[in-house]
């Protein structure tokens, strides 16, 4: 179930993965803050794997606003070789569009609705060990 309250952004790090968990309504301003905090956490931990969990969030950004995110990632210094997995409760055409857009720009970027699948893609052989730590 998604949450329509004000957004909260939690950042954690473990097993080589920066995890950003977002709850509540994601406005364009929250999206900007999320991008800044993601970039800062990647730098702080010298990490190249990012999991953003939006399963309890509700996006209110338009397709046009989503189209600006790749340029913002570049401006914030997201390393080109960072693997990014976005985890949602439901996959939408906007998310498929964003995935395609980022992949066309050479980014390792995928959207998922299954936490274990997201971890498997991020970690490869380590997925079985890590999937137990991913809440549903």
* Residue 74 tokens, joined: 């570049």
- pLDDT value of residue 77: 87
Using an 8 Å Cβ cutoff, are 3 and 54 in contact? no
Using an 8 Å Cβ cutoff, are 115 and 136 in contact? yes
Cα-based angle 119, 65, 85 (whole degrees, multiple of 5): 5
Average pLDDT, the chain: 84
- pLDDT value of residue 49: 96
Q: What is the pTM of this model?
A: 0.81
Choose among 3, 64, 65: nearest CA to 35. 65
Return the CATH number of the domain spanning residue range 8-131: 3.30.750.24
Half-sphere exposure of residue 132: CA atoms within 13 angstroms, side-chain side:
3
Name the residue with higher pLDDT: 6 or 30.
30
Name the residue with higher pLDDT: 134 or 41.
41
* Look-up of token digits 């309890």: 56
């Amino acid at each position: 179930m998604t949450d329509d309250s004000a957004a909260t952004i939690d950042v954690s790090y473990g097993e080589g993965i920066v995890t950003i968990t977002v709850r509540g309504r994601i406005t364009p301003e929250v999206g900007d803050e999320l991008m800044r905090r993601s970039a800062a956490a990647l730098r702080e931990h010298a990490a190249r794997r990012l999991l953003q969990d939006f399963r309890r969030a509700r996006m209110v950004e338009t397709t046009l606003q989503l189209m600006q995110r790749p340029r913002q990632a570049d401006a914030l210094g997201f390393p080109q070789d960072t693997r990014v997995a976005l985890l949602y409760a439901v996959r939408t055409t906007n998310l498929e569009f964003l995935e395609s857009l980022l992949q066309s720009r050479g980014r390792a970027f995928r959207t998922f609705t299954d936490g274990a699948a997201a971890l498997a893609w991020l970690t490869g052989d380590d997925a079985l060990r890590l999937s137990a730590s991913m809440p549903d």
